Every structure is written in C-alpha cells, then in structure tokens.
Amino acid sequence: MATNSKQAQPTGKETDLFYEDRFWEQYVGKNLVSDPVTAIVELVANCWDAGATRVEVTWPDQEAKTLRVGDNGEGMTRNEFYRRWGGMSYDRIRHQGSTVEVLVGDSVRTRKVFGRNGIGRFAGFCFAAQYTVTTTKGGKRHQFLVRKGRKQPLEFQTLGSTDAGGKGTEIEVEATSVSFLPADTIRTELGRRFLTDPSFQVVVNGVKIAFEDIEDKGLETMTVAVPDLGLTIIVKIIDAQRTDRTGKQHGVAWHVLNRLVGDCCWKDPEQRSLLDGRRVEAKRFTFIVEADVLHEAGAVKPDWSGFEEDNPTYQTINAAVQSAITKRLLEVTKEKRDETTNNVRRAFTHQVRQMSLIKREQWNTFVEKVAEECPRLTENELKSVSGILANMEAASSQYGLLQKLHDMSPDQIDDLHKLLDEWTLDMAKLVLDEIRDRMKLIEELRIKTARESTLEVQELQPLFRQGLWIFGPEFETIHYTSNEGMTTVIRELFGRKDIRGSGNRPDFAILPDSTVGFYTYPEYDDQGGEVGPAKVVVVELKAPDVPVGDEEKGQCWKYVRELYAKGMITERTRVQGFVLGRTIRQVDREERTEMNGRVRILPLDFEWVLQRADSRLLKLREKIKNAPFLREAGLDKFCAEPDLPEGELPLGDQEVAA
C-alpha cells in the first residue's frame, strides 16, 4: 500500500510540550495549591527561614481581595531571586545551609530553618495564577511578577528596581481562586504553629497573634510538679487540630524570660521514639514550657542556644517535664493504639484460644506493652511480633529467643536481619552446626592430647574418625567409613590375648601401645558395583610415652602388607597412613613410601595436627573462642590461652624426642 507523502504533518506548535494546571498539584502537593491554611503557613514559614523577627500579613476578605505577606528578613538580590525562585528542585540546605542568623535584641542567634526543597515559594499559587515579589537587600529593591507558565513551569517578569534602604521580602497576591476564611481563623492557625519563639512576631490585619487567638479546644495548660525543688512548671499544649506537611513547626519549646531557648523540636529520646517525623501527632502538637527559674539557676547557655546539660536544676526540671509530656502523648495516641491492638487480637483469635488463661493474659499484656513502648511499629509489624510470640508458646524453647533479642544491641539486631536476608535459617543452621561440631572436636582433641593417660589414646581414635578432614580437603568426603573387616585382620595379626577392650569398639583396634583405625573410600565398576577400596586411610595413635620413629612407621607398613596379603586391598588401592604421637624422632621424620608411591606413611605430632585443624577452619578459634557452645562444654579455657603459636608448623619444626 502506497504511503501518501503529502499527508499533513503536525506543526512545531502542535508538538511543543506544555504544562497543565495539574502539574502543580503533582509537583508540590495538592494542599499547598488548594488549601489556604496550608498555603499561608508555608508563606509565613518562608519568613522564618529568611531570618525575620516580624511578619505582617494582610488577609483578604470579600471586599479587599489583596493578600500580602511581608517580613523583615534578609531579603534577596536580583541574582539570588532568580536562583532561588527559578530552581525547580532548589536545595535550600546545600545552597544556604540549615540555619539562619537572627538579630534578637543586641545578640545574634542561630535559628534552624523549616524548609529544605523550597516549595513554600509556590504557595502564592493557591490564591491566584500569579503574584508579585518585592525584595530588598544591599540598598536595592527589586520587584518581580511570578506566574504559572505553559511552556515552562514558571515565567518571570522584572517590574522594576530602585535604590532603597532596609531589608526584607513581601509577596502580594490578588486573590481570585479560594473561599476566604475569617482573619480570626488565620490568626488561630498561625498561632498554633508560630508561638514557639517569642522573638518571632506575626501580625494579621494589624493584630499580633497571641495565645488568646488559639481556640479553647486547641490550647491546654498543664501544670507539672517538681517536688524535689518545691515548685511547679507551666506547660502550654497547642494542638494544631490538623496534620501539617512536616513536623518542623512542632515539638517541645522552652521559654525562659519570654525568650526561646534552643529550638522547638522532639529532642527527648523517648518522645522521638514515640513520635518520629512521619507520625500524625508529631505534625500536630507543640508543648511550650515556661521555666523562668532556669535563668536564675544559671542553666541557660550564654548564646541561648540551649541549656547547660549538667546543671542540676535543669536536669531535675527536664526529667519531670519530659516525663509529663511523654505521658500526655501516650494518652493522645491511646485511641489509635487500642484500635491497632484490637485488630491484632482479631488476627490471632484461633491461636490465642488454644492458650491457657494465664498464657492468654500474658499474650494480651505483651501486645499492649509493645504497642505502647514501640509506637513506630505499624499494625502489620505488630501483627508479626505478636504472631512470633504466639508461635513461641508452641515452641519448646518458648521465650528464650526473646531474651536473646532483648540482650542484643541495635547493630547486632541489624546484623541478624541482614543475615536472615542473605541466608535461609535452615542453611545458616547447617553451616553453623558444622562449624560448631568441628570446633568442639578440635578442642576435645586439644584436651585429650594434653593428658598423659594411655587410655586417652583409645578415646582419641573415635574423634579422628570424625576428623579426617583435618588432614586435608581430599578427606572431606562423607564416603570414608570405618572398615571393620580390616580392623579384624589387624586384631588377629596381634592375637586376641593382647587386645584390651576391643569387643566394645569394633571400628578400631586397640593394640598394646597404640590404637589404629582404618577408613576406606570404595571403588566402583562400570555398573556401579563396589570392587574394593579405592583409597585407605590408616590412622594410628601412639601412646604418649612412645616416640614415633622408623619402627613405628614400619609397623604401619606391616598392617598394609597384611591387608594386601589377605586380599583386603588391591594393587590399585592407594593407602595414606598417619602415625600420630606426642613426639617424633628427628632422623625419622620423613614420609615413608612403598609400592611405587601407592602407600605413603607420614609421622605427625599432635601439636602439628592441631595447628593443621585450626588452619583448616580459617583460624576461627581465636575469633569465636567465647562462643556459648564452647563455654557450655567447658572448653573455653583451652581457647582463651592457646598453648601453640599461630600458623602451621612444617614437619622439620616438630618436637624432637630426646
């Protein structure tokens, strides 16, 4: 099918990008551009961030529709205006810092700012599609028109620049798009948020906001007794009655001589845990503590940036006040906690019904306590914790795990969480159990090889049966098993009258001066049938008073010859013999080979074996010597002060017999 080359193409104008009005709702949030309370709060917060001490608000009504918000803050130069207003993702903290200097009386104070992303400057669009900004700094006054754009988010127009004294910024809007709230309501809303610092005055239509502007249901006075000092402290509680965009305008503010000390914030650790910045209450409540007595006690720092933390009067008053505030916050959040705990109870009705009355009461108490003391937990997280507890009731270890978690530091809990993210519990247990078993085996070997009793050699042989891996990675396979047939041949070689207690241990032979065990790895034919041993490991342990020399190596070779003669091994079988003792004669320390290298007999002393075992476990002995399984087995003292130097010993460095 032919394509019409003359088909109409879209013009450049039709393909241009443009911005719908919904862009602003998505970029700054719906409330900022549609809710007049949110918008005026943001505009006044901008004045706070500019270092102002006085803000004049002209609030419009049905007749006079001009909104003005002016301050005596630091103002802006022409370049600063374009940089700050024109940066769509302007980072206030990076460009201007997190604080601003404010002149209060004769001193300069540092004030923490509310803003970070600079979106408060768009609050004027709640009232109209454009507004003017008049700002003065450095002897120059500039006026700009700011309006919503179609091809770009913002359009600017410079209205004029003149010489002028003073400093500050004023935003003016001819309001067109909102229903007007009474000025009294605006004073109430601003009072709920900006009465924390007496040096920051906000005036609405000529009337300075004060505590009297806050409606009765939004202001409460609490008296806190401090019996140790024989006085009471007044705390004013302001409830904004709605959730603000952030919690930075809320918290605990301390007033001394009608002046803010430090910042208004949630500083107390218990309150920070109870009300982090994401919770509704952190964005609603403000507590103003009136404590002139702290000035008399010398508790206020000279720059009013905070209190002297070691001042005893401050410590006593702070403890009483913070406790009272925390108690009040718990009361405020109780209704929500009750709803959450009831939902949790309903989720575990079946499991709880199977508990005894006492256990059921304990479970209910636990759920309530966790909800109270861990308020950051979401409902789903509380369900998870409560479900774990219900499962613990059915587990044999019951609450032992809870105690272990309680004893952990926050970093350890994070590490446990990471471990369970990277490993399944079954996999981690498999690995850790193997490490535990090998560590216990090494320490048992260390204990028993340190003793003089010949009988201990009999106790060592079963341990080496489990510890063939010590001799090297080629012995890791589980296919090595004790060969009782070979053991019987060696018993018969020595005669039963010389064997002590052999009937109790058919897996190894107990000889007059040693024990010997045989471990084989089978060889298979093409059909998968066993055709004899592919490899044999002979482990002979000599009594402590028997030094290992050529004669002892020859005895091991004697065993191999006997097995060969009896048809227990073939010409294809490879034999590795280890003759272990406390000492090795210097001249006989070399490995002995027979049958063209198919038989190798290596003398080793116990110290070297233990060094080899530590090395095979990547020197974990020193790293986990305080592990509970070592302490419980009474092996920790052998880990605490190792008798051997670090590192593996070459054969030439083994102990030489006298």
What's 22-208's CATH class? alpha beta
pLDDT of residue 395: 63
Q: Delimit the domains of the chain by residue range.
A: 22-208, 215-335, 432-653
Chain centroid to Cα 75, Å, comes to: 42
Give how far Cα 616 sits from Cα of 46, 175, 205, 562, 602, Å.
66, 80, 83, 33, 18
Q: Buried b vs exposed e over 500-511: b needs ≥16 C-beta within 10 Å? A: eebeebeebbbb
| The pLDDT of residue 167 | 95
User: Are the C-beta atoms of 514 and 540 separated by less than 8 Å?
Assistant: yes
Please tell me the predicted confidence (pLDDT) of residue 653: 36
pLDDT at position 616: 80
Do residues 119 and 137 make contact, with C-beta atoms less than 8 angstroms apart?
no
Architecture of domain 215-335: 2-Layer Sandwich (3.30)
pLDDT along the chain (658 residues), means of 10: 51 65 77 87 92 94 89 95 88 88 84 79 90 96 92 90 95 81 88 85 92 76 93 89 59 87 75 51 80 91 87 94 86 79 85 79 83 75 78 65 77 84 80 82 81 64 80 72 70 52 49 78 80 86 84 89 86 90 89 93 89 79 62 48 37 35
User: For the chain, how long is the longest CA-to-CA vector?
Assistant: 124
- Other Cβ atoms within 10 Å of 91 Cβ, number: 11
User: Tokens standing for 384?
Assistant: 């998870």
- Contact predicate 255/290, CB 8 Å: yes
> Bridge-partner residues for 288, per DSSP?
236, 253
Beta strands of 368-432 (E only): which ranges? Answer: none
Neighbours of 430 (CB within 10 A): 11
What local confidence, expressed as pLDDT, does residue 422 receive?
83
**Contact indicator for 520, 533 with CB cutoff of 8 Å:** yes
Q: Dig out the tokens for 464 from the structure.
A: 């080496």
Angular region, 193: left φ>0, alpha ψ -120 to 50, beta rest: alpha
Instruction: Kindly give the residue spans of alpha helices, DSSP state H, lying in 471-525.
Output: 484-494
Strands (E), 227-299: 231-239, 251-255, 260-265, 285-290
Q: According to the model, what pLDDT value does residue 502 have?
A: 38
* Contact between residue 589 and residue 579 where contact means Cβ atoms under 8 Å apart: no
Helical axes 425-449 vs 455-466, angle rounded to 10°:
160
Check residue 483 and give its pLDDT: 66
Which tokens sit at 276? Answer: 């982090």
DSSP H stretches of helix in 148-200 = 183-194
Where are any strands of DSSP class E within 468-513?
481-482, 508-511
Burial class (CB in 10 A: 0-12, 13-18, 19+), 407: exposed
Helices 379-394 and 400-407, axial angle in degrees (round to 10): 130
CA-nearest of 390, 392, 395, 394 to 345 is 390
Contact 308, 299 (CB under 8 A): yes
Q: Look at strands 574-581 and 530-542 and give their pairing.
A: parallel
